[in-house]
């Protein structure tokens, strides 16, 4: 299966010397995508920290690894080395800094991780200027048929009805999507959650109460898309509010869930604190309506992060809610200014939400969409409309990334 991230690798290697970081959920395709770089060189090396032999080699230091990957050998094309799951090594930043500095311009470097390689968020980053991060997401409707890169955020709509149905049912993680087997999906979800909590979180965090954090993960399957009530969650799993906040950040850092914050600028009496929780795997969400909303949230998050990582600008995803309980599911901003609003509905047999009209007027957003899941594809550009409009989810999602 082609992925748009392979095209990212090709573009990156053509123009940039910095290391390329792929950061994303377990089993979203990071390793598979990085292995595609083998087609771009005649000298390719893949080193996985979880492989004992590879780990022993890395621990011998940068000089030994440089010799192993063939830095000093003549090759027709620039060599490529992939360091997979290297963040599990306590001194990974020191290793990468040394390896990059002595081999700069001689080799292309890809680093992948299913826990956040979020050094770019921290001060005093020893890798500053030495890498570009890309947040790798599961499959989306647009990526299934469009892997070319463009400087335009929005694309022409495309009709992919069968893939849309498969995506809703089996999710965007490549293996269950390709197998299209319900029993496999159920087993895969159970195993992925167990590995994430019982292995990744246990090994890479200080959380000891794995049973309780597992219960929190289960609660989110029923409360996805809802406002986060820390006090209620704390009482449900019998811990303090501060512990709940910390555990949610842990689940976020291992890509089990993500939060969307409320937008408050130019919204009178806006909600200021509580975020909403969404799951990276929308097939785990129990309620159908919430599952549809979670699916759209994943597509929008992928779009805003992809556009930002490619350098097209600064994009963010929000929701809107005021103290009168007027609410719109999503707001996408471009350069910190409202761009388009999205309200998600299961059925098209309802009128356009009055809140779309209200908040579009308040925020001066260019577009406002009511995205519905029971309406067939329509071959029209959603973004040609400047007033609130009901649009099929198939059409809308195909125009993103």
pLDDT greater than 90 at residue 231: yes
- Exposure on the CB side of residue 185, measured as CA atoms within 13 A: 20
Per-residue pLDDT, 63: 96
Token pair recorded at residue 29? 């395709």
Q: Do both 176 and 123 map to the same domain?
A: no
The CA distance from 238 to 168, in Å, is: 34
Per-residue pLDDT, 125: 65
The CA distance from 29 to 142, in Å, is: 16
Per-residue pLDDT, 120: 45
Last residue of a domain, one of 135, 170, 199: 135
Mean pLDDT (the chain, rounded): 94
Order of strands across the sheet with 44-48? Answer: 44-48, 80-84, 108-113, 19-23, 131-135
| Residue 111, domain member (yes or no) | yes
Q: Do both 66 and 173 map to the same domain?
A: no
Give the mean pLDDT of 9-13.
97
**Residue position matching structure tokens 């609660």:** 219
Q: Looking at beta carbons, which pairs linking 310-316 to residues 24 or more positions away fall under 8 Å?
A: 310/8, 310/149, 312/151, 312/153, 315/153, 315/339
The CA distance from 191 to 10, in Å, is: 33
Q: Do both 129 and 168 map to the same domain?
A: no
pLDDT over 90 for what percent of the chain?
87
97-138 residue pLDDT tens: 999 999 999 999 999 987 656 654 454 567 989 999 999 999
> How many domains would you assign to the chain?
2
Domain that holds residue 48: 4-135
**φ and ψ at 123, to 5 degrees?**
-70, 160
Per-residue pLDDT, 326: 94
| Residue 153, domain member (yes or no) | no
| Residue 258, domain member (yes or no) | yes
**Residue position matching structure tokens 């690798």:** 9
Q: Do both 47 and 167 map to the same domain?
A: no
42-65 residue pLDDT tens: 999 999 999 999 999 999 999 999
Per-residue pLDDT, 84: 96
Q: Do both 177 and 108 map to the same domain?
A: no
Q: Do both 233 and 299 map to the same domain?
A: yes
State the angle between helix axes of 210-223 and 230-237 in degrees (0 to 180), rounded to the nearest 10: 130
Q: Do both 247 and 394 map to the same domain?
A: yes
The CA distance from 169 to 373, in Å, is: 13
| Residue 12's CATH number | 3.40.50.300
pLDDT greater than 70 at residue 315: yes
Angle (CA) 188-194-289 rounded to 5° is 60
Q: Do both 39 and 110 map to the same domain?
A: yes
Q: Do both 128 and 167 map to the same domain?
A: no
Residue 177: strand, helix, or coil:
helix
249-294 residue pLDDT tens: 999 999 999 999 999 888 877 666 799 999 999 999 999 999 999 9
pTM for the model stands at: 0.95
Maximum alpha-carbon separation in the chain: 68
| Residue 31, domain member (yes or no) | yes
Give the mean pLDDT of 9-27.
96
Angle (CA) 143-167-299 rounded to 5° is 55
């Amino acid at each position: 299966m082609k992925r748009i991230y392979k095209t990212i690798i090709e573009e990156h290697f053509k123009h940039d010397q910095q290391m390329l970081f792929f950061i994303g959920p377990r089993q979203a395709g990071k390793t598979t995508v990085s292995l595609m770089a083998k087609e771009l060189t005649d000298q390719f090396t893949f080193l996985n920290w979880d492989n004992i032999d590879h780990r022993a080699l890395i621990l011998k230091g940068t000089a030994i690894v440089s010799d192993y990957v063939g830095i000093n050998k003549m090759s027709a094309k620039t060599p490529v080395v992939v360091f997979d799951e290297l963040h599990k090594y306590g001194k990974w930043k020191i290793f990468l800094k040394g390896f990059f500095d002595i081999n700069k311009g001689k080799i292309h470097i890809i680093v992948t991780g299913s826990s956040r390689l979020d050094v770019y968020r921290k001060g005093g980053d020893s890798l500053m200027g030495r890498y570009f991060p890309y947040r790798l997401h599961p499959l989306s409707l647009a990526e299934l048929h469009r892997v070319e890169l463009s400087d335009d955020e929005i694309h022409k709509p495309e009709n992919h009805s069968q893939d849309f149905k498969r995506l809703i049912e089996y999710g965007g993680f490549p293996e269950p999507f390709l197998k299209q087997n319900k029993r496999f999906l159920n087993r895969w979800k159970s195993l992925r959650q167990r590995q994430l909590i019982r292995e990744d979180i246990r090994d890479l965090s200080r959380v000891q109460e794995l049973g309780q954090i597992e219960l929190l993960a289960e609660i989110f399957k029923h409360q996805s898309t809802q406002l986060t009530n820390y006090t209620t969650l704390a009482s449900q799993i019998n811990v303090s509010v501060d512990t709940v906040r910390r555990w949610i950040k842990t689940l976020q850092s291992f890509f089990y869930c993500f939060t969307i914050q409320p937008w408050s600028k130019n919204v009178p009496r806006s909600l200021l604190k509580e975020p909403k929780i969404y799951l990276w795997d929308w097939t785990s969400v129990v309620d159908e309506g919430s599952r549809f909303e979670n699916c759209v949230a994943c597509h929008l998050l992928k779009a805003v992060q992809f556009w930002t990582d490619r350098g097209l600008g600064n994009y963010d995803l929000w929701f809107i809610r005021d103290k009168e309980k007027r609410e719109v599911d999503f707001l996408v901003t471009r350069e910190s200014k409202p761009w388009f609003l999205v309200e998600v509905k299961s059925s098209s047999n309802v009128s356009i939400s009055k809140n779309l009209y209200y908040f579009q007027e308040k925020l001066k957003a260019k577009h406002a969409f009511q995205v519905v899941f029971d309406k067939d594809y329509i071959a029209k550009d959603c973004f040609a409309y400047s007033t609130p409009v009901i649009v099929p989810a198939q059409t809308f999602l195909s125009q993103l990334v």
